[in-house]
Amino acid sequence: MALWDSVREALNTFGPASIVDILSIAVLIYLALLLIKGTTAMSVLRGIIIVVVGAVIVVQLLELTVLDWLLRNSLTALLIGVLVIFQGDIRRFLERVGRTSRWPWPGRALYEGMVDTVADASLHLAEKRHGAIVVLERDTGLEDYIDTGVKLDAECSAQLLQTIFYPNSALHDGAVIVREDRVVAAGCTLPLSDRTDIGVHGTRHRAALGITERTDGVAVVVSEETGQISIAANGRMISNLDGPRLRGILRSLLLPSVDLDRPSGRRLPRLSR
């Protein structure tokens, strides 16, 4: 009966302001989860939730008075701890709020010009056999990897990419990370794939697979030894690409509405493991 009275009292006080309040909290939670999706912060948050929920269940089942008191009185400290743990992600979220063109909404089609830019640069680098790896950010933020390199925030062009990967230049050994139409950073360190079933031994190719295993980014790799161009996405890689296939696959991955090879109308091959 007491439960029904509480429900009825809550319904009586429910109004338009309550709807706005609930929607605001839901939007904030959605944006926060979207921001940390695919990063190590998501694993940390999952671990915190598991520990707290497990402790609450144990307290309720076993009626542990001391642990119950500790949980009730450590909420403030827990909130402060969460702010400290996720300070980097909170800072990046606030930065995105301040950049209206950088809102993390899915389905953006801002890579239209990047397809030709990256393809032209890759073909030129392949012809010269200059090794390169370019990672294009999609929905999952790559800030953890951007912080390992030199931040540029420059307009992406084929000439800039060719200059960065010129042999013996200061940044040619690392990866370039592109966000929308900007080169965010160069000389970045990427995680290497641990897979042994792919027959890929080059560091650049393993790094391309590694970043696409952990995020939804797209990596374009130019082999220094063979001059072959490869694309990695979703932990899979397709190699031996020529110009038309390279452009077609990039369009299918970066532009959601395009899934066909435009010149021939044929479906593009699946990325193979």
Spatial separation of the C-alpha atoms in residues 47 and 223, rounded to whole Å: 39
Residue type, 84: V
Contact 55, 67 (CB under 8 A): yes
Contact 171, 150 (CB under 8 A): yes
Q: In terms of DSSP bridges, do strands 229-233 and 182-188 run parallel, antiparallel, or are they unpaired?
A: unpaired
Total-model pTM? 0.58
Spatial separation of the C-alpha atoms in residues 53 and 74, rounded to whole Å: 14
Stretch 70-88: mean pLDDT: 76
Stretch 118-131: mean pLDDT: 93
Q: Which domains does the chain have, with CATH numbers?
A: 11-102 (no CATH), 112-254 (3.40.1700.10)
Contact 113, 180 (CB under 8 A): no
Q: Token pair of 90, please?
A: 């909170």
What integer pLDDT is reported at residue 263 of this predicted model? 40
pLDDT-derived band at 259, boundaries 50, 70, 90: very low
pLDDT of residue 25 exceeding 90, the answer is: no
Stretch 111-118: mean pLDDT: 83
Angle (CA) 66 71 74, round 5°: 120
Spatial separation of the C-alpha atoms in residues 256 and 138, rounded to whole Å: 11
Which candidate, 249, 161, 251, 191, places its Cα nearest to that of 40? 191
Lowest-confidence region among 165-169, 195-199, 245-249: 195-199
Average pLDDT, the chain: 78
Residue 147 φ/ψ, nearest 5 degrees? -65, -15
Of all residues in the chain, the percent with pLDDT exceeding 70 is 75
SS3 152: strand
Spatial separation of the C-alpha atoms in residues 96 and 213, rounded to whole Å: 24
Neighbours of 215 (CB within 10 A): 24
More confident residue, 199 or 176: 176
pLDDT of residue 235 exceeding 50, the answer is: yes
Helix, strand, coil fractions of the chain, as percent rounded to 5: 50, 15, 35
Stretch 233-249: mean pLDDT: 89
Q: Where are any strands of DSSP class E within 190-267?
A: 218-222, 229-233, 236-238
What integer pLDDT is reported at residue 166 of this predicted model? 92
- Of 63-67, 78-82, 157-161, 253-257, the range with the highest mean pLDDT is 157-161
Which candidate, 31, 148, 43, 200, places its Cα nearest to that of 135? 148
